[in-house]
Amino acid sequence: MQALSTEFPSDKNRLDAIFRKIAFRIVPYIFICYLFNYLDRVNVGFAKLDMLDALHMSEKAYGLGAGIFFLGYIACGVPSNLMLQRVGARKWLALIMVVWGLLSAAQMFVQGPTSFYILRFITGAAEAGFFPGLVLYLTRWFPSARHGRVMTLFMSAIPLSGVVGGPLSGWMLSHFASSPGNLAAWQWLFLLQGLPTVVLGLGMLLLLSDSIQQASWLQPEERTAVAQVLHQDHLEQPQQTSDTFRSILSNPAIWMLGALYFCIQASVYAINFWLPTIIRSSGIHDVTAIGWLSALPYLAASLFMIGMGRSADRHRERRWHLAIPLLMSAGGLAIAARFPDITPLAIAGLTVATAGALTGLPMFWPLCNGYLSPAAAAGGLALINSMGQLAGFISPYLVGWIKDATHRTDNALFVLAALAIIGMVLVLRIPASRVNR
């Protein structure tokens, strides 16, 4: 079949229709799976409100437990994504979801700091390949010019997890606090938000295809057209032929991108794990009200993220579409830190910070197309992601350590704001010609 060129409107319309068909087939299910991935992180922040008193844990112990998840994640990130290359995305991602769902539900059996640390570490190790695996999976279906929109659509599950998870977790803590039985409310929270992940993992085996060639739901001419577009897109990307672990470690671009991703994730994870606590510190004590208030920053982030994703693809501009959210993250955190006892200002600051930090995630990943060839993508994406997840260990522990020492979170938020500024400087140092595609 003759290649479909995007230079002619009729061909472009046909390609748009094919990629819409692909998006409607795979993105909604991936979205739901990723939503539950982040619900696991949201519910830990809410379980903390009751769990610490029940298990006599300190704020620092919670911060360490929340963060130690990412040590397991970092240790297994690259091996997991390389295994995905051998086993196939569909089977490997399904296995990851089943195992991490069971481990997440098993957190209901935590008896103290030690068991909390162990379960969090193992859960992180099990989950390690999920997100970079999804990113790699989507690059096999969509060309670079469409990555901003697609990444934004599936990563909008992150703020939506807060919109849904905040009120839901708050309701569960309130409802099960008075229910009869041997399980505490925080235990029900882990159980009921962990088991659906197992079902979704099994469903992935039935609903997703490993590659375009195996997509029986596409017509033969549609598969050919998409394959031609992706082939041309790969020819325009950097040509690095080696995908060995050694070559990945020696690539300076990967370390630069990893440092940038660390700065973005430092704010994201502080918000994920400490947002309910920060809202409570501002003077709100009812857990149901905390749940609804925590949804506001995530709702704003959902809307802002979708708008920025469309704008980035429409203008073929990547740097400023990441730099502006990082500036918002820094400014919002500084406002929340400066006015922690004034509830409206604290919530406003957290809303701006959440919208900026979470929007930075889908705006970051298309930058990698300018530095990683298809051969280096599996290991490179996993290493970059692992470096970013290091912030998931440092950031919650830093906030917990400072809160135990000072009984406040404002100094920690100022540190995170400074990291967001460093991230903005890093992204603006990237040559526009390298990433604006």
Which tens digits make up the pLDDT trace of 334-347? 998 888 778 788 88
What average pLDDT score do residues 276-303 get? 81
User: Does the pLDDT at position 65 exceed 90?
Assistant: no
* Three-class DSSP category at 6: coil
Question: What is the spatial distance between Cα 37 and Cα 194, in angstroms, rounded to a whole number?
Answer: 9
* pLDDT for the residue 4: 44
Q: Which of 16-25, 32-41, 321-330 has the lowest mean pLDDT?
A: 32-41
Q: Are 395 and 413 in contact (CB under 8 A)?
A: no
User: Does the pLDDT at position 348 exceed 80?
Assistant: yes
* pLDDT for the residue 332: 92
* pLDDT for the residue 237: 60
Dihedral angle over CA of 188, 193, 199, 205, nearest 10? -150
Q: What mean pLDDT value characterizes the chain?
A: 81
User: Does the pLDDT at position 365 exceed 50?
Assistant: yes
H helix count then E strand count, the chain? 17, 0
Question: What is the spatial distance between Cα 128 and Cα 121, in angstroms, rounded to a whole number?
Answer: 11
* pLDDT for the residue 70: 81
Please give the C-alpha separations between residue 157 and each of 22, 154, 204, 206, in angstroms, as whole numbers. 19, 6, 17, 21
Question: What is the spatial distance between Cα 79 and Cα 87, in angstroms, rounded to a whole number?
Answer: 12
User: Does the pLDDT at position 429 exceed 80?
Assistant: yes
Please give the C-alpha separations between residue 45 and each of 67, 101, 184, in angstroms, as whole numbers. 12, 17, 16
* pLDDT for the residue 118: 93
Question: What is the spatial distance between Cα 34 and Cα 163, in angstroms, rounded to a whole number?
Answer: 14
Residue 324 backbone dihedrals phi, psi, to 5 degrees: -65, -45
Question: What is the spatial distance between Cα 161 and Cα 164, in angstroms, rounded to a whole number?
Answer: 5
User: Does the pLDDT at position 200 exceed 90?
Assistant: yes
User: Does the pLDDT at position 239 exceed 70?
Assistant: no
User: Does the pLDDT at position 119 exceed 80?
Assistant: yes
* pLDDT for the residue 3: 43
Question: What is the spatial distance between Cα 233 and Cα 231, in angstroms, rounded to a whole number?
Answer: 5
Question: Is the model more confident about 181 or about 328?
Answer: 328
* pLDDT for the residue 241: 42
Question: What is the spatial distance between Cα 129 and Cα 3, in angstroms, rounded to a whole number?
Answer: 34
Hey, what are 127's tokens?
């989950």
What helix, strand, coil percent values describe the chain, rounded to 5? Answer: 85, 0, 15
Nearest to 298 by CA among 168, 151, 131: 168
What average pLDDT score do residues 74-98 get? 85
Hey, what are 319's tokens?
């740097």
What average pLDDT score do residues 210-214 get? 84
DSSP 113-128: HHHHHHHHHHHHHHHT
* pLDDT for the residue 9: 41
Q: Residue 212: CB partners within 8 Å, gap ≥ 6? A: 140, 141, 218, 223, 226, 227, 230
Domains present along the chain, CATH in parentheses: 9-435 (1.20.1250.20)
* Four-residue CA torsion sign, 216, 220, 225, 229: positive
Nearest to 357 by CA among 263, 432, 284, 257: 263
Residue 209 backbone dihedrals phi, psi, to 5 degrees: -110, 150
What average pLDDT score do residues 13-25 get? 87
What average pLDDT score do residues 367-392 get? 73
* pLDDT for the residue 51: 85
Give the tens place of pLDDT for each residue, 163-199: 777 788 778 888 887 766 788 888 888 888 888 999 9
Give the tens place of pLDDT for each residue, 395-413: 777 777 787 787 777 788 8
User: Does the pLDDT at position 256 exceed 60?
Assistant: yes
Q: Which of 124-133, 239-248, 299-308, 402-411 has the lowest mean pLDDT?
A: 239-248
* pLDDT for the residue 202: 92
Question: What is the spatial distance between Cα 64 and Cα 120, in angstroms, rounded to a whole number?
Answer: 10
Question: Is the model more confident about 18 or about 395?
Answer: 18
Q: Which of 2-16, 149-163, 178-192, 220-234 has the lowest mean pLDDT?
A: 2-16
* pLDDT for the residue 235: 67
Nearest to 142 by CA among 207, 226, 225, 224: 226
User: Does the pLDDT at position 7 exceed 50?
Assistant: no
Q: Which run of H or of E encompasses 13?
A: helix 9-55
* pLDDT for the residue 377: 63
Indicate the pLDDT class of residue 298, thresholds 50, 70 and 90: confident
Q: Are 27 and 150 in contact (CB under 8 A)?
A: yes
| Cα Rg of the chain (Å, integer) | 21
Q: Residue 379: CB partners within 8 Å, gap ≥ 6? A: 78, 81, 82, 243, 244, 245, 248
